[in-house]
Structure 1
């Protein structure tokens, strides 16, 4: 997905913490550690709802 296709709009910078949680979830799924993948999704959702998320709660 390019910056143009991004839900954050044209030229918006993705949140590095969101990217980290997404990567951790992908790794956990690849290792068939579905409990850890679920944890990553929950933590990603909490992060997006917080004021710390640079993506403005989108994604």
Structure 2
């Protein structure tokens, strides 16, 4: 039986920004959704992201 490769642990902060963006889109608050995308990008570029391969 083959062993599946271990999945990297997702970054909790990235998940929180993605969820907040989805909620904002659902509420049609597109300004807030944009803010979430900007904050997510800054988080990833700032070296704070703990998920491997998520930094841009």
Shorter chain as denominator, the TM-score bin is: 0.7 to 0.9
Query: Deviation per CA, 1:8-51, whole angstroms, max 9, x where unpaired?
Result: x8420000000000000000000000000000000000001112
Compare CA radii of gyration and give the structure with the larger one. 2
Q: Does the 8 Å CA contact 1:22/1:40 hold for their aligned counterparts?
A: yes
Aligned-CA RMSD value = 2.1
The gaps in structure 1 that reach 5 residues or longer are: none
Aligned pair partner of 2:25 in 21, 29, 32: 29
What is the TM-score when the length of structure 1 is the normalising length? 0.77
Which runs of 5 or more structure 2 residues have no equivalent in the other structure?
none
| Residue 58 (structure 1) shift | 1.6
The TM-score normalised by the length of structure 2 is 0.80
1:4-15 to 2 correspondence within 5 Å? 10-15=6-11
